[in-house]
């Protein structure tokens, strides 16, 4: 099992205890099964309320997932809803996109669902 899969599974376990989270999905190279030791991990956290107006809330989530070395928002790539993170132990680059269920409806690819309370993400896809 790759470090990306281990990390994603850990995040799903953490988020399933959070009543403000609707689900967790994964995108990028995960979808094409092209993950290698150098791949980043693209996570999509779907929350009941919009949190992207508050970077501190995004960082609280990111810190709960592992040993966060640094995290910054993605305005420079035109996506302020993404928190670009670097974790240690294991060293891993993770992009975490925070969206509401309505925002999840608009996407460029159909992600794999790792956590889906009440099958709301499945219904959207």
pLDDT digits (tens, 9 = 90+) for 57-107: 999 999 999 999 999 998 888 788 999 999 999 899 999 999 999 999 988
Closest CA to 95 of 109, 105, 76, 81: 81
What pTM, to 2 d.p., does this model score? Answer: 0.94
Does 8 have pLDDT greater than 90?
Answer: yes
Q: CATH number of the domain that 19 lies in?
A: 3.30.460.10
Contacts of 118 (CB under 8 A, 6+ apart): 22
Q: How many domains does the chain have?
A: 1
Q: What is the domain extent for residue 47?
A: 3-124
């Amino acid at each position: 099992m790759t470090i990306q899969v281990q990390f994603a599974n850990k995040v799903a376990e953490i988020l399933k205890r959070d009543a403000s989270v609707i689900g967790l999905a994964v995108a990028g190279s995960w979808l094409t099964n092209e993950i290698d030791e150098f791949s980043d991990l693209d996570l999509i956290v779907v929350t009941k309320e919009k949190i992207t107006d508050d970077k501190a809330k995004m960082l609280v989530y990111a810190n709960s997932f592992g040993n966060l070395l640094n995290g910054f928002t993605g305005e420079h790539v035109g996506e302020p809803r993404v928190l670009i993170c670097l974790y240690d132990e294991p060293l891993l680059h993770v992009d975490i996109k925070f969206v509401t269920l309505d925002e999840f409806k608009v996407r460029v690819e159909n992600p794999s669902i790792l956590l889906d309370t009440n099958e709301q993400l499945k219904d959207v896809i």
